[in-house]
Amino acid sequence: MTNQVKIFDTTLRDGEQALPASLSAKEKLQIALALERLGVDVIEAGFPVSSPGDFQSVQMIAREIKNSTVCGLSRAVKGDIDACGQALGVAEQFRIHTFLATSEIHVNAKLRKSQDEIVEMAVAAVKHARRYTDDVEFSCEDAGRTHIDYLCRMVEQAIKAGATTVNIPDTVGYTTPTEFGDIINNLFNRVPNIDQAIISVHCHNDLGLATANSLAAIENGARQVECTINGIGERAGNSSLEEIAMILQTRREMLGLETNIQSKEISRTSKLVSQLCNMPVQANKAIVGANAFSHSSGIHQDGVLKAQNTYEIMTPESVGINKNNLNLTSRSGRHVIKHRLTELGYNLEDYNLEDVYQQFLALADTKGTVYDYDLEALLFFDQQKHEAAHFKLLYLQANSGHEIIPSATVKLQVGDEEVTRTSTGNGPVDAAYEAIMQILGHQDVEVVDFKLDSKGEGADALAQVSVIAEYKGRRFHGLGLATDIVEAGVNALIYVLNNTHIADQIDQQKIQQERVAGV
């Protein structure tokens, strides 16, 4: 058996489906590119049949990603599989992932079919997917609660029909490591054609056992693990990629297994996903939490100073945490900024140096000293800019204070027009938002969540605002950054507006295509 464990990342599918607001196509592509850099073998980019937006983003990712296999999810029905085939066809390498529930409770209560019918459906789905590609994965949804005899039958039939990977999900995070390891062991002992496919696992974290269960499965022969960055996903989430990757790396001598993960990319990818998905990482989270490498007790600090490995089983550098925080000022030139960003792991293709440098100078003028986290924040926001943004902030003035009525004047570029409005509100952000709503001329966009955070330390830190707004029954997330809190809030709302504008365009295109096709 190979000692190579494939890493299948489902941040953009299982992770994304659990977010409070969906990601834009551009944000998904940014995450996909980060996953490719991280060395992920398979990127599950979405569920193409679920919406026109998902179809487009899967297609965009399929077009751009060259070094990872791009995968799409489908139920075990023709229409879903066809949507996957169409969205993924442009990819260098792609996989169709089709699934069907196999546990008694799902088969009886949800699907209301006999076990024989389920086997037939699975076989037909795998065969249909094989018309598009040789790389087909079949998942036995809720395998963790499926009777082992039936599970063996399903796995055997799926492989016979042409599945090259068979996934065994613990969909509801119910099993324990010994139990889950035994399921995998049983499959290897009882399914006659098991050597013709890779056995994969997909564990949810409802009892906090997702990573332990995945590891037990690997120890029993599974050679693909499905996981997400920061463990995001349905309910309590999925097995987290960074934990699996670092277990296999840190305990390589004992386990004797390899992955293609470039561990130095972990921290950066984790931050990107957390920020774009609006999902903060708990401080004590293994590998990527803010405290994962900080030592609080005096005894520990003393030990680490004497020999790092007294209390550190892996180095922060091995997951890309750079503790060297260089202070930059307005006297620092472009080449220093470029050099620092390279040290932080960013390639010149990741950003526009001139743009970032101009923003850096403006920030250095306001703040004096610019730190790594400021620079990374600027870069992050530079990457979020919409090239052809429909809405742009041209001018903002906000007044607030003790015993005055807060007011704000906002001038926006809306397409080719420039529009200015002034309004009052119960605070300067509320006043600015009210002015923007007046510019929009409608109230379809409703802000349902507003969070203010500081990037970095001290009173002069950059303000980051995260906003969730509802528009036409969907939720959109936006981020804004500025030294001024009101401006950060306005930037976040403009980010949302640009995404709602793109969503409207996608819907229009779909209506147009359907009209042409006579649907």
Q: Which residues bind Zn ion (CB under 5 A)?
A: 14
Residue 99 interacts with which of ligand KIV, Zn ion, none, CB < 5 to 8 Å by class: ligand KIV
**Residue 270 CB, nearest distance to ligand KIV (Å)?**
21
173: phi then psi, degrees, rounded to nearest 5:
60, 45
* 169 near ligand KIV, judged by CB under 6 A: yes
Contact 40, 34 (CB under 8 A): no
Taking CB under 6 A as the criterion, the residue among 106, 145, 153, 202 binding ligand KIV is: 202
Residue 139 interacts with which of ligand KIV, Zn ion, none, CB < 5 to 8 Å by class: ligand KIV
**Residue 107 CB, nearest distance to Zn ion (Å)?**
18
**Residue 326 CB, nearest distance to ligand KIV (Å)?**
43
- Please identify, using beta-carbon distances, which residue of 169 and 480 lies nearer to ligand KIV: 169
- Please identify, using beta-carbon distances, which residue of 175 and 466 lies nearer to ligand KIV: 175
- Please identify, using beta-carbon distances, which residue of 143 and 246 lies nearer to Zn ion: 143
# residues contacting ligand KIV (CB under 6 A):
9
Residues 306-325 that bind ligand KIV (CB under 6 A): none
- Please identify, using beta-carbon distances, which residue of 84 and 432 lies nearer to ligand KIV: 84
Structure tokens given for 105: 């409770």
Residue 44 interacts with which of Zn ion, ligand KIV, none, CB < 5 to 8 Å by class: none
Residue 491 interacts with which of Zn ion, ligand KIV, none, CB < 5 to 8 Å by class: none
Residue 346 interacts with which of ligand KIV, Zn ion, none, CB < 5 to 8 Å by class: none
Q: What binding mask, one character per residue, do residues 97-126 give for ligand KIV by CB under 6 A, x or -?
A: --x---------------------------
Buried b (16+ CB within 10 A) or exposed e, 301-338: eebbeeeeeeeeeeebebbbbbeeeeebeeebeeeebb
Edge-to-edge, what's the strand order for the sheet holding 417-424?
391-399, 407-414, 417-424
What is the DSSP annotation of 307-364? -GGGT-SS-GGGGT-------B-TT--HHHHHHHHHHTT--GGGS-HHHHHHHHHHHH
* 141 near ligand KIV, judged by CB under 6 A: yes
Element (H, E) at 122: helix 115-130
Conformation bin of residue 208: beta by default, left when phi > 0, alpha when psi is -120 to 50: left
* 139 near ligand KIV, judged by CB under 6 A: yes
Task: Return the range that interacts with ligand KIV (CB under 6 A); candidates 166-174, 176-184, 189-197, 297-305.
Answer: 166-174
Q: How far is CA 7 from each of CA 95, 162, 226, 227, 478, rounded to the nearest angstrom?
A: 14, 21, 6, 7, 30
- Please identify, using beta-carbon distances, which residue of 208 and 518 lies nearer to ligand KIV: 208
Residue 421 interacts with which of ligand KIV, Zn ion, none, CB < 5 to 8 Å by class: none
The whole-angstrom separation of Cα 417 and Cα 409 is: 17
**Residue 137 CB, nearest distance to ligand KIV (Å)?**
9
Element (H, E) at 189: helix 177-190
- Please identify, using beta-carbon distances, which residue of 17 and 483 lies nearer to Zn ion: 17
- Please identify, using beta-carbon distances, which residue of 137 and 434 lies nearer to Zn ion: 137
- Please identify, using beta-carbon distances, which residue of 204 and 421 lies nearer to ligand KIV: 204
**Residue 238 CB, nearest distance to ligand KIV (Å)?**
8
Amino acid in position 467: V
Contact 231, 197 (CB under 8 A): no
Q: End-to-end CA distance of the chain, in Å?
A: 50
**Residue 202 CB, nearest distance to ligand KIV (Å)?**
5
* 271 near ligand KIV, judged by CB under 6 A: no
Taking CB under 6 A as the criterion, the residue among 11, 12, 14, 197 binding ligand KIV is: 14
- Please identify, using beta-carbon distances, which residue of 233 and 406 lies nearer to ligand KIV: 233
The whole-angstrom separation of Cα 498 and Cα 57 is: 16
**Residue 410 CB, nearest distance to Zn ion (Å)?**
42
* 82 near ligand KIV, judged by CB under 6 A: no
- Please identify, using beta-carbon distances, which residue of 171 and 500 lies nearer to ligand KIV: 171
Q: Which of 240, 318, 247, 322 is nearest to 279 (CA)?
A: 240
- Residue 443's CB is within 10 A of a number of other CB atoms, namely 8
**Residue 479 CB, nearest distance to Zn ion (Å)?**
27
Vertex 397: Cα angle to 396 and 400 (nearest 5): 135
**Residue 181 CB, nearest distance to Zn ion (Å)?**
19
* 8 near ligand KIV, judged by CB under 6 A: no
Buried b (16+ CB within 10 A) or exposed e, 33-58: bbbbbbbbbbbbbbbbbbbbbbbbbb
* 135 near ligand KIV, judged by CB under 6 A: no
- Nearest residue to Zn ion by CB is 14
**Residue 365 CB, nearest distance to ligand KIV (Å)?**
49
Taking CB under 6 A as the criterion, the residue among 57, 171, 239, 466 binding ligand KIV is: 171
Amino acid in position 183: I
**Residue 503 CB, nearest distance to ligand KIV (Å)?**
25
Contact 15, 228 (CB under 8 A): yes
28: phi then psi, degrees, rounded to nearest 5:
-65, -40
C-alpha 462: how far from chain center: 24
- Residue 404's CB is within 10 A of a number of other CB atoms, namely 8
**Residue 57 CB, nearest distance to ligand KIV (Å)?**
18
Contact 144, 183 (CB under 8 A): yes
List contacts with ligand KIV (CB under 6 A). 14, 99, 139, 141, 167, 169, 171, 202, 204
